[in-house]
Each structure stands twice: as structure tokens, then as C-alpha cells.
């Protein structure tokens, strides 16, 4: 399979270039650093957000979106913190910051990005739902972010593939099936690398690295939750809501977490409801 090897090597060479790194502006990195602290200072966070008119507008738009319908109108960043709560505010900020990296105009890359973003948001919502369902209050502030960022390695690879297309490398003509295989096989390691470059806490980097591996820390509850939710999301995306979830119900993750069969079924329903709301 010489062609496959050469294409993968081209992508790996592109990844070594800093221009292939999905970009977060210095200001966004500063906001992210504050938002992902163990105990963020929300006065500092609100001030940083207010200094960026674009981010302020996007945060307020998100806070007033149909997903948060019924919570009342949010007109200022301070109102958003008061109305939504600190954890929810951080979730919105992280979502807005990272959504900006999913806007490729390339006709091959754009559909991949759309699917990846929808999957990432579903995993974020599902992880937060699961933490609340299992009454793991100590993980409430981390669950959404962990789910949102677990597949960022795929974004890293898609950015590198797009840059390679733009470089007009003659030998670079990967079919969609090969792109799928590259994303599946390389994204965990690339995710750890990317989140390291973004200076994110180790707990999120480990989840990006270990959410598919056979060998992982069974005591890492946040990792177990993301693995479980990721499996449910993939079942829904691949086979539809009627998919048999028996394999997930009987998984090691569900067993260690104490997630009952009815809990997995309710998680699936919650994810389907979130998908429906986001589409309206």
C-alpha cells in the first residue's frame, strides 16, 4: 500500500508545521486559561470577555439561544453569569471559543468539520447530563469541557489536510475512506498534542488521548463518562435512535460508573432532544 503510506507521511510532515495548528488567538488562549482553572475568577473572566466585542456578542447570542429558552433575556456578561451560573457560563465561553475553528470553506473539509462539531457538542451535553444523573457534583464544572474537547485531534488532522490541499501537493489526493481511517487512527495522539499546545489542564489531555484505548485508568471517572457518552453518540450517529445499546449497557464503563440500563436509555433520549433543539 505505498500510496497510503505516502499520503500519511505527507500529512505527518504538514503537522510538523506550526501553520497546521488550529488557531486560538492570544486573547482566546488567555480566556481559556482562566476558564479552565480549578477555581476561575469570574470577575477576571467577565472582564476578559468584555474586552472582545465579537466574543461578547457570541456569548450573549448563545445565552439567549433556544437551548436556554425560559431562562429570561440576558443583556450583559454579568447578567449571563448571574442567570446561567458560573459553570454554565464557562461552558458557553468554551463552546464559542472553539466553534470558531470549525469554519473551513474547503468543500471536502467542511462536511467533516460540521459532523465533528455536532459530535463534540453532543458529547459535551451528554457528559454534563451524565455527571448530573450520577450525582457527581465534583465533576460538574469539568464534564462539558471534557466532552467538547475530547476529539480535537480530528480538528488538528483536518486542518493539516486542508493546508496540504492548499499547498497543491500533486500526490495528495486521499479518498474519503482514507481520510476517515487517518482521523480514526491518529486523532487521539494528535488531540493530546493539540491540547498540550493550547496549555489545557492534564485531565483534558488525558481524555483526548485515552478515550478509545484499551488500556486506561479505570479510576478516572471523567474519562469513563466521556468514553460512555462518546459510545452512545457514535451509536446514534451511525445507526439512528433505534440502535441496540446493549453493548454500552454491559460495558466496563457503565459497570464502574454504576450507570443502569435505564440511565443509558435516558441519556440517549436527552441527546436526541438536544440534537432536535439545536436544529430548530
Verify that 169 and 209 share a domain, yes or no: yes
Instruction: Say if residue 6 is in the same domain as residue 69.
Output: no
Give CA–CA dist 16/120, Å, rounded: 25
pLDDT of res. 69:
57
Residue 66 lies in a domain: yes
Distance of CA 228 to the CA centre of its chain: 14
DSSP 18: G
Are residue 6 and residue 124 in the same domain, yes or no?
A: yes
Closest CA to 210 of 253, 175, 167, 164: 253
Question: Which range marks the domain in which residue 204 is found?
Answer: 2-18+108-279
In this structure, the answer to whether residues 264 and 189 fall within a common structural domain is: yes
Shared-domain flag, residues 254 and 214: yes
Q: Which residue has the cell 440576558?
A: 74
pLDDT at 6: 66
Tell me the C-alpha distance between 267 and 15, whole Å.
Answer: 36
76/149 same-domain check = no
Tell whether 176 and 112 lie within a shared domain.
yes
Within this chain, do residues 11 and 74 fall inside the same structural domain, yes or no?
no
- Measured distance CA(46)–CA(35) in Å, rounded: 10
From 52, 77, 100, give the residue that closes a domain. 100
Is 31 inside any structural domain? no
Q: Which of 213, 161, 216, 215 is nearest to 183 (CA)?
A: 161
What is the CATH number for 231? 1.10.3210.10
Task: Quickly list DSSP for 232-245.
Answer: HHHHHHHH-TT---
94 and 114 in a single domain? The answer is no
pLDDT at 118: 95
End-to-end Cα distance, the chain: 45
Rounded CA separation 124/148 (Å): 5
What is the pLDDT, as a whole number, of residue 164? 81
261: Cβ contacts below 8 Å, ≥ 6 apart: 249
pLDDT of residue 54: 82
Q: Is residue 27 part of a domain?
A: no
Burial category of 246 from C-beta neighbours within 10 Å (exposed 0-12, middle 13-18, buried 19 and up): exposed
Q: Identify whether residues 198 and 119 lie together within a single domain.
A: yes
Of 57, 81, 100, which residue constitutes the final position of a domain?
Answer: 100
What total number of domains does the chain contain? 2
Query: According to the model, what pLDDT value does residue 2 have?
Result: 46
- Say yes or no: 8 and 134 in one domain: yes
Q: Are residues 129 and 96 in the same domain?
A: no
Spell out the per-residue pLDDT of the chain, length 280, in tens.
444 446 777 777 777 776 667 878 888 899 999 999 988 888 899 899 889 888 888 888 888 877 665 667 888 888 887 777 888 889 989 998 999 889 888 888 999 999 999 999 999 999 999 999 999 999 999 999 999 999 999 999 999 888 887 776 556 677 888 889 989 999 999 999 999 999 999 999 999 999 999 999 999 999 999 999 999 999 999 875 555 788 999 999 999 999 999 999 999 999 988 877 665 4
Amino acid at each position: 500500500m505505498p500510496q497510503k503510506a505516502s499520503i500519511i507521511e505527507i500529512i505527518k510532515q504538514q503537522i510538523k508545521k506550526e501553520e497546521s495548528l488550529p488557531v486560538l488567538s492570544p486573547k482566546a488562549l488567555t480566556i481559556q486559561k482562566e476558564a479552565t482553572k480549578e477555581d476561575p475568577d469570574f470577575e477576571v473572566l467577565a472582564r476578559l470577555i468584555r474586552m472582545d466585542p465579537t466574543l461578547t456578542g457570541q456569548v450573549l447570542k448563545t445565552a439567549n439561544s433556544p437551548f436556554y429558552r425560559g431562562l429570561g433575556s440576558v443583556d450583559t456578561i454579568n447578567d449571563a453569569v448571574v442567570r446561567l451560573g458560573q459553570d454554565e457560563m464557562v461552558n458557553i465561553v468554551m463552546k464559542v471559543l472553539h466553534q470558531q475553528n470549525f469554519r473551513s470553506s474547503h468543500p471536502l473539509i467542511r462536511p467533516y468539520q460540521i459532523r465533528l462539531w455536532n459530535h463534540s457538542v453532543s458529547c459535551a451535553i451528554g457528559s454534563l447530563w451524565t455527571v448530573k444523573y450520577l450525582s457527581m457534583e465534583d465533576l460538574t464544572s469539568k464534564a462539558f469541557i471534557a466532552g467538547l474537547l475530547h476529539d480535537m485531534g480530528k480538528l488538528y488532522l483536518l486542518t493539516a489536510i486542508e493546508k496540504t490541499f492548499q499547498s497543491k501537493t500533486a500526490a495528495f489526493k486521499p479518498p474519503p475512506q482514507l481520510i476517515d481511517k487517518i482521523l480514526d487512527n491518529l486523532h487521539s495522539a494528535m488531540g493530546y498534542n493539540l491540547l498540550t499546545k493550547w496549555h489545557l489542564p492534564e485531565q483534558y489531555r488525558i481524555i483526548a488521548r485515552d478515550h478509545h484505548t484499551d488500556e486506561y485508568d479505570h479510576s478516572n471517572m471523567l474519562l469513563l463518562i466521556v468514553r460512555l457518552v462518546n459510545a452512545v453518540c457514535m451509536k446514534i450517529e451511525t445507526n439512528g435512535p433505534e440502535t441496540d445499546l446493549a453493548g454500552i449497557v454491559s460495558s466496563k464503563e457503565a459497570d464502574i460508573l454504576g450507570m443502569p440500563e435505564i440511565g443509558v436509555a435516558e441519556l440517549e433520549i436527552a441527546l436526541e432532544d438536544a440534537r432536535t433543539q439545536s436544529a430548530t
